Amino acid sequence: MPELPEVETIKNELLPHIVGRQVNGVTLFWEGIVRQPSVEEFCPCLIGQRLTGLARRGKYLLFSLTSGEVLIIHLKMTGSLLLKPASTEADKFVRAILHLDNGTEIHFRDPRKLGVMWLVKDVDSVVGKLGPEPLEAEFTPQLLAKRLANRTAPVKALLSDQTFIAGIGNMYADEALFAAGVHPLRPGGSLSSEEVEHLHRAIQQVLWSAIGNKGASVDTYFRPDGTLCTAHFQFQVAHRLSGKFCPVCGTPIERIPIRNRGTYFCPHCQPET
Ligand SMILES: [Zn+2]
C-alpha cells in the first residue's frame, strides 16, 4: 500500500506538470471510485476547473481547484496515478482519467478497485481526524511521548493508526520499530523516554530515506512516470519472507499478525521486555 513516502513522491512528481492546468474532461471506467458527491455531479463540477495546487495530508492527495473546492484522492492498497500523453490507451486496471488542457492525462490505475476520490469544499470532512504529520516541525519527541502515554495498544498498531499519526502504514511502522529497537507488541505507554526519542528519530529517518528513494514499489505501486521506486531495497525487516535473516545480528526475522497485518521484526534486536 502506498504510504507517506509514496504519496509524497507522487505529489512532488505530479506537481510541476499539473499546476495551472485546466481539467477538460473526466472519463470514469469504474463509478465506485467516486465517493462524494454523486457521479452525476462529480464530472460536471470538475470539468472546466483549473488545478491551483497539490498537497499531501497523511496518505491523501489534495488537488486544490479554482472554485475553492478540493479534489481528494486516496490510493488505498493498489492505486497509482500515472501521467500519460493524451489519448494513451488505458490498460484494464485504469478506473478514471483526468484529461488536462496541455495534452496530458492523469490515469488513476487501481487493480483492486479500492481507491477513492472526493470533491469537497470542506477538506476536514475527509481528513479532519488525522493525527500529526510525522515530518512536520510540530511532531516532536515530546508530542510522541504525550500521544503514547497510557496507551495499552501495541505500539505497532498505534503507529499504523492514521488518527494517532498520519501517513505511516504497515511497511514503515515495521521499519521504524526495527530502527528504534522496539518490539512491535510493546504497549505504547510502556516505552521509556529514551525509547520514545529513538522511535521519533527512527520514524523521521525511515520516512526521509524512503522519500529519497522515491518510495517503495511493493504490490502494484508506480511513480507517475510509470517507473518503479527503490525504497523497498533498503528495507531491513518489512516484507521479509520467512527464512530471511536480520541484517544486523543474523537472527531469523519473525512474522506475527498484529490487528490482522503481518508484522516483521527481529526478536534479538527488538526484545519484548
Ligand atoms: Zn537483529
Helix 193-212 / helix 4-18 crossing angle, nearest 10 deg: 40
Whether residue 3 lies in the annotated active site: yes
Rounded to whole angstroms, the Cα distance separating 219 from 239 reads: 11
Max CA pair span of the chain = 59
Rounded to whole angstroms, the Cα distance separating 147 from 155 reads: 11
Task: Output the CA 186–ligand 1 centroid distance in Å.
Answer: 17
pLDDT at 241 over 80: no
Rounded to whole angstroms, the Cα distance separating 11 from 5 reads: 10
What integer best gives the mean pLDDT of the chain? 94
> How confident is residue 239, by pLDDT bands cut at 50, 70 and 90?
confident
Cβ 99 vs Cβ 26: under 8 Å: yes
> How confident is residue 220, by pLDDT bands cut at 50, 70 and 90?
low
The reply to whether omega before 2 is within 30° of 0 (cis) is: no
Give me the phi and psi of 26, to 5 degrees please.
-135, 130
pTM given for the model = 0.95
Quick: pLDDT tens for 70-109: 999 999 999 999 999 999 999 999 999 999 999 999 999 9
Of the chain, the percentage scoring pLDDT greater than 70 comes to 98
Rounded to whole angstroms, the Cα distance separating 69 from 40 reads: 17
> How confident is residue 201, by pLDDT bands cut at 50, 70 and 90?
very high
Task: Output the CA 219–ligand 1 centroid distance in Å.
Answer: 26
Q: What is the mean pLDDT of residues 147-170?
A: 97
Task: Output the CA 191–ligand 1 centroid distance in Å.
Answer: 19
Task: Output the CA 142–ligand 1 centroid distance in Å.
Answer: 28
User: Which listed residue (59, 109, 214, 240) is catalytic?
Assistant: 59
Rounded to whole angstroms, the Cα distance separating 177 from 49 reads: 43
User: Which listed residue (3, 6, 8, 69) is catalytic?
Assistant: 3
pLDDT at 186 over 90: yes
Quick: pLDDT tens for 52-73: 999 999 999 999 999 999 999 9
Quick: pLDDT tens for 29-40: 999 999 999 999
> How confident is residue 119, by pLDDT bands cut at 50, 70 and 90?
very high
The segment with the largest mean pLDDT, out of 75-79, 181-185, 218-222, is 181-185
Task: Output the CA 98–ligand 1 centroid distance in Å.
Answer: 46
Please name which of 27, 70, 75 lies closest in space to residue 52, comparing C-alpha atoms.
Answer: 70
Helices (H) and strands (E) in the chain, counts: 7, 11
pLDDT at 218 over 90: no
For residues 96, 99, 100, 105, the Cα torsion angle rounded to the nearest 10 degrees is 70
Task: Output the CA 106–ligand 1 centroid distance in Å.
Answer: 42
Quick: pLDDT tens for 126-146: 999 999 999 999 999 999 999
Whether residue 59 lies in the annotated active site: yes
Query: Which residues, including other chains, have CB under 8 Å from residue 40's CB and lie 6 or more apart?
Result: none
Whether residue 41 lies in the annotated active site: no
User: Which listed residue (11, 76, 201, 261) is catalytic?
Assistant: 261
Strand order in the sheet with 34-36: 34-36, 116-120, 70-74, 60-65, 51-57
Please name which of 147, 209, 197, 202 lies closest in space to residue 173, comparing C-alpha atoms.
Answer: 202
> How confident is residue 244, by pLDDT bands cut at 50, 70 and 90?
confident
Specify the long-range contacts of residues 100-104, CB closer than 8 Å, at least 24 apart: 100/18, 100/21, 100/22, 100/23, 100/24, 100/51, 101/21, 101/22, 101/23, 101/24, 102/21, 104/17, 104/21
